[in-house]
Structure 1
Amino acid sequence: MKIYKSHFWYNNSQRNGIFFLVLLIVVFQSAIVFDVFSSDKTVAINQSKIRAFQNQIDSLKIIEIENRKPKIYPFNPNYITDYKGEQLGMSLDEIDRLLAFRKTNKFINSKKEFQKVTKVSDSLLAKISPYFKFPDWVVKRNQSNNSSSKQESKSYFKKSNKEIVLTTTDINKATAKDLQTINGIGPAFSERIIKYRSKLQGFSFNNQLYEVWGLEKEIADKVLLTFKIDQKPVIKKININTVTFKELLKNPYIDYDLCIKIFNYRDEVAELQNISELKNIKDFPIDKYARIVLYLLAE
């Protein structure tokens, strides 16, 4: 009993303090339960200020959304990927046409050619073409070709009806003057044909003429009505098993990606026993096989 008495035995002032503390606790608990401190009064709100503040927030959101959109920087349209084309607003068909064109080892050198290959709409072309960036030498060539094309278009209608004697009808021996006897072939195109012929070491197929850059099919058809391959060229072939990467890349029908695939395949098989093994390479361009092997052999 002494133990309990020592804990509960207080003087009057202490008992009064404890009683007052308990009373305060009961009062505050009651206030919370009965929601005494709540008020039904509504606070006056300035609606015009709220609308102005909300408009400011909305404008900041729009600016942030615009900032998050991917920005378009100058680019070469020849290297548009699926992802890049989708960002630009191109359809899958338009992107596929571009990729198929690039697989032929050809390049787009103007916005007009880009539209011709991809068939994009005029509105989309107008939107993205300002960002096209071609190499400086292509820009200069386009400028010179525009001036020469104007001259050629004039000469196209000014050809003389006088009989012109050709030195040869063999397209591999034809001179620039021989080629210029064809309506539509001026000095620029004749030199371009001869330059491409030198790159190929001579035309082995008549339809290789269609590969000359900028030469329209209708004009090429006219050339082939007069000039043919009387004697196929003797092409110096290189051994696929010993050729270097740089040498193989000089093949007019092999681009960088195909060159890598060929070297990877060569490392895998150690040595090609027959040049036809190139067809075993995944995604090898079978349509260009006959042209590629003009310059290769397996020894």
Structure 2
Amino acid sequence: MKFLKDFFYINYHERRALLIILTLLVVSTTMIFIVGSKETMPSEKQQAHNDSIIRHATRQQPGYYDEGLQSSEVFAFDPNTASQSDFQRLGLESWQARSIIKYRNKGGIFRTPRDFARVYGLTKKQFEKLLPFIRIGKDYQPAANFYPRERYNYGYQETAIRTRDERKKDTTQYSYPRKLKEGQYININSADTTELQKIPGIGSYYARSIIRYRERLGGFVSMSQIQEVEGVPETALHYMNIDAKHIRKMNVNQLSLAELRKHPYLDFYQAKEIVNYRRTHGPLRSVNDLRLLKDFPPAEIERIKPYLAY
């Protein structure tokens, strides 16, 4: 027991120091509580000032529009000709009105009332309020609103508003290419689109596709190439023949990589190999030189051979 008493014994100087420490601790805690309470509870004047700053900052942001603060009137207007003051009278903010003027100055046009919905920062509520009052002048409306669409059918002009009975009466005025009979042929290397449309199964779309592919190739050298044109019916081949006397060839020693690449039978890597070969070994002298290039397997060489010149 004496041991415990000696262990917890505090002399006069130690008691005095402990009392001072406890006093300072209580005072510090009290001050922290008082100061903290004052900072977290601003005065009414300070709170009003803070609210004013927040409202001002909010109104400066285009994405936040306080519609209750903006007085407005409504009247008919053309967004293509209205002034900035007109837009502000209608209830738009000044920055919204300025964005419309800038859009028009850059060539922008409102062709329909609903185009006005594209105005930067315009809210759904604003647009729905103004939509009934938008009037687009005739000078800004699409021409199709005033002129009937017309169709041309082999020299016969027809407006889109003709009735079904009127069209039925005029069917005799339509003219279609007469189709070939069995045993008749067309040379596909010299035929134009009108002649190609005489082939059963070939319309204007396929006729144009065949000619475009023929121009890219330089001419057809076999009937199998027709089937490389997507969608052409196989039955159409029975009415075609080929005269390969005037095939347009390409000089592989003169054309650039981009020009070589335009041919349907050469891809980028093959065209690049030809250009690299010319740079390191000189001009190609025959098709045998292509056999030295890794991107030209035998089948590819046979396919491109009719179109090569040296």
Normalized against structure 2, the TM-score is what?
0.37
Larger radius of gyration: 2
The structure whose RCO (Cα within 8 Å, separation 6+) is larger is 1
